[in-house]
Structure 1
Amino acid sequence: MLGVVVAWGTNYTVVKEVVGVMPPLAFMSVRFAIASVAMLALLLVVEGWKPLRLGVFLKLAGLGLVGNTLYQLCFVLGVANTTAANSGLLTAATPVMVAALGAVLGVERLTRPLVMGLSLAVVGMVLVVAARGPAMGANTRLGDVLILGACACWAIYTVGIRSLGNEVSALQITAVTMLTGAPGVILAGLPAVLELSPGSVHGGAWVGMVYTALIPLVLGYFIWGRTVQQVGSARAALYNTGVPVVAALTAWAVRGERPTPFQALGAAFILGGVVLSRRK
C-alpha cells in the first residue's frame, strides 16, 4: 500500500502534465481503454477466467459502475470545475465516509486506535491541502459537489469490496469491476477522442498516459482491493491520507512548488495517525 500511495501521489503531477496537451475526457477515455485491456490480460495470464455466481457478478458490476464509471466522471468533471486545492481538501472526507459506511452496514468494526488514528490522519491531510489556499464559492460549487460525489462513490466501492469477503480474489474483483465500469467511461469521452489529433500530443504525454493506466490504475486498484480484503476498508482508507503528502513532494521536485511548514506538520500528523491505528 505504501507503493500505491507513492503511485497515486505522483499520479497527480503526471495527469496534470498530460491533460495540459489533451482534453480531460479524452484522457479519461483512452486511459481506461488501455487499463481495461491490460487488466483482462493480467487476469487471464495469472488466474484465468473463473465463473462467478450471478449474484456476485451483478454486485461486482454494480461496484464497477459506481467505483469506475461514476467515480471517474465525478472526479474529472469535478476537477475541471473547481480548484486543485478545493478538490484535494474535499477528498479528506473519503476515509471518514469509508469508515462510517462500513460501520453502518456492519462490515467494519471501528476500534478506538483506528478511530483516533483516522482522526489524526484526516486533520493532517487537511493541513497538507489547506496550505495551498482553498477558496469555496459560487464559481466552484458545482465542482466541489462533484468531488464530494466522487468521494462517496469511492467509499461505496471500497466497502462493497470488503462485504464480499474472500469469496472472490482481489484480482478478479479488480478485473470485473474495471471491465464493467469501463464502457461508460470510454463512451463518455469518445466524442473528445474522435476530435483529438494524435499529432498534437507529444511522445512524453503518451508515455505518461500509459503510466497512469498501468501503474496507478491497474496495479493500484489491484493492490487496493487486496488490502481491503486483508485489513479492512477503514484501515485501507487510512492510507489515502498519505496521497496528498506524496503529491506535494512530487510537485516540489517536478514543478518547483515548495512545501509549506503547515504541509510538513500535516505530514507528521498523517504518519502519527497511521502508526496509532496499528495499535491493538
Structure 2
Amino acid sequence: MMWAGNAVVGRLVVGHMPPVMANAVRWALVAVLMAPWAWQVLRQHEALRRRAGYLMLIGALGVGSYNSLQYMALRTSSPLNVTLIGASMPMWMMLVGVIGFGQRATPRQLGGALLSCAGVVLVMSQGSWAHLREVRLVPGDLLMLLAALTWSIYSWLLVRKPASMQGEPAWNWAEFLWLQVLFGTLWATASAGVESAVVGHSHPWPADAQALGTLVFGLLFIAIGPSILAYWGWGQGVRAVGPTVAAFFSNLTPVFAAVWAWALLGTAPQWYHPCALVLIGAGIVLSSSTPAARPTSTSEPAA
C-alpha cells in the first residue's frame, strides 16, 4: 500500500525536483528520522569493518539504485507503464533465484505468477483489450525493468547473507535498515552529484511557495511510509516466505493505487478492481502453498 502511494506522490515530487536528487534527499531524511533508534550501532567498529562490503552492496541496490531508477522512469514514463512493468517482478525474482542462488522455480510458482500477472493486466487494461493496446513503451520503461532487476537481487541478498553477517552482533531491524540507508545514501548522493553536473540543475528546490509545500509534504510521506514502514515490512516478509513468494505481493500495487485514488481523489473503484484482487490473491495462495518456496531461515532479521 505504501509503495502504491509512492508511485502517486513520487510523480509529484519529481515534478518539482530532479529525480536522483529527490532520491538522495529522501534517504538522507530517513537517516535522520531513524538515527535516535539505531545510532548506537556505529560503536561496533569491528563488525562494521567486517560487514562493510555487504552493506555497501545492498545499500547500492536497494536504496541507491532502485529508487533512483524508479523516479527517473516516472519522469519519462507514465505511472500506467511503470506499474505494468512492476508486474514482472515475480518473473525477475524467479530468474535471479534460479541463476544466482540455486533456487528452483516450481510449477505452482509459475502458475501463481501467471494468475497474479493476469490480475495486474486486468487493472491496467481497465477490463478492455482496446485500452491495453494503447499502452506504448518509452525509454523510461527500460529504466523500470532495470529497477526490477536490482530489487530482485537486493531481495535475495537479504535472505542469502554471506558468512560475515552470521553470528554476533545480531542487529535488530532498525539498526540493519539504518545501515543500509547510510551506505545507500552515499551512492544516492554521489549519483545526485553526477546528475547535477550532467544536467546542470543549479537550484533543485522550487521557488514557488505552493510547489515547495507540495515537495516537502511529499518527501515526508515518502520517507516515513514507502521508506521506513514499507522497507521494514518487505524485509520481514522476505525473511518469512522468501523473495519469490514475496514478489507476488508487489502485484497488489495497482489495486492499492485504486484505493489511494478513491481516498484522495474520490475516484470510485471499478468492477475490474475486485476481480483483479481475486486473481492476484489466487496467485499468491498458489505460489506460497509449496514448501519449496520457503528459504532456509537466517539467524537475524532482514529489515
Q: Where on the TM-score scale, by shorter chain, does this alignment land: which range? A: 0.7 to 0.9
Q: Distance in 2 between matches of 1:178 and 1:163?
A: 19
* CA separation of 1:48 and 1:75: change in aligned 2, threshold 3 A: same
- Which residue number corresponds to residue 155 of structure 1? 152
Q: Distance in 1 between matches of 2:224 and 2:240?
A: 23
| Structure 2 unaligned residues grouped into runs of 5+ | 291-303
> Which string of whole-angstrom CA distances, capped at 9 and with x for unpartnered residues, describes residues 183-209 of structure 1?
232343464474424653343542331
Q: Return the offset for 1:157.
A: 0.6
Give the CA RMSD over aligned residues.
Answer: 2.8
Q: Distance in 1 between matches of 2:51 and 2:61?
A: 15
Q: Return the offset for 1:144.
A: 1.3
- Which residue number corresponds to residue 26 of structure 2? 31
Contact 2:18 2:204 in 1 (8 A): no
Structure 2 SS opposite 1:62: helix
Structure 1 runs (4+) deviating above 6 angstroms are: none
Q: Distance in 2 between matches of 1:48 and 1:189?
A: 25
Matched, 1:196 2:199: no
Q: Return the offset for 1:258.
A: 4.6
Q: Distance in 2 between matches of 1:109 and 1:55?
A: 31
Q: Distance in 2 between matches of 1:21 and 1:88?
A: 21
Matched, 1:237 2:237: no
- Which residue number corresponds to residue 83 of structure 1? 78
Q: Return the offset for 1:32.
A: 1.7
Matched, 1:274 2:284: yes
- Which residue number corresponds to residue 297 of structure 2? none
* CA separation of 1:193 and 1:242: change in aligned 2, threshold 3 A: farther
Q: Distance in 2 between matches of 1:13 and 1:195?
A: 20
* CA separation of 1:179 and 1:92: change in aligned 2, threshold 3 A: same
Q: Distance in 2 between matches of 1:219 and 1:32?
A: 13
Structure 2 SS opposite 1:164: coil
Could you say which structure has the larger radius of gyration? 2
Which amino acid in structure 2 is aligned with residue 12 of structure 1?
A
Matched, 1:100 2:109: no
Contact 2:206 2:212 in 1 (8 A): no
- Which residue number corresponds to residue 3 of structure 1? none
Deviates most, 9-18 or 223-232 = 9-18
- Which residue number corresponds to residue 182 of structure 2? 179
> Which string of whole-angstrom CA distances, capped at 9 and with x for unpartnered residues, describes residues 18-70 of structure 1?
4444443443232121012223433236x675443756430221121122222
Q: Return the offset for 1:102.
A: 1.3
Contact 1:108 1:232 in 2 (8 A): no
Q: Distance in 2 between matches of 1:64 and 1:48?
A: 16
Matched, 1:209 2:219: yes
Q: Distance in 1 between matches of 2:148 and 2:111?
A: 21
How many matched pairs? 271
Structure 1-normalised TM-score? Answer: 0.83
Which amino acid in structure 1 is aligned with residue 247 of structure 2?
A
* CA separation of 1:209 and 1:73: change in aligned 2, threshold 3 A: closer
Q: Distance in 2 between matches of 1:123 and 1:99?
A: 17
> Which string of whole-angstrom CA distances, capped at 9 and with x for unpartnered residues, describes residues 204-249 of structure 1?
5423311211221022112212221222111111211111110122
- Which residue number corresponds to residue 60 of structure 1? 55
- Which residue number corresponds to residue 255 of structure 1? 265
* CA separation of 1:56 and 1:248: change in aligned 2, threshold 3 A: same
Structure 2-normalised TM-score? Answer: 0.77
- Which residue number corresponds to residue 14 of structure 1? 9
- Which residue number corresponds to residue 38 of structure 2? 43
- Which residue number corresponds to residue 218 of structure 1? 228
Q: Distance in 2 between matches of 1:228 and 1:31?
A: 23
Q: Distance in 2 between matches of 1:61 and 1:162?
A: 16
Identity %: 25
Q: Return the offset for 1:79.
A: 1.7
Matched, 1:125 2:120: yes
Q: Return the offset for 1:88.
A: 1.1
Structure 1 SS opposite 2:260: helix
Structure 1 SS opposite 2:47: coil
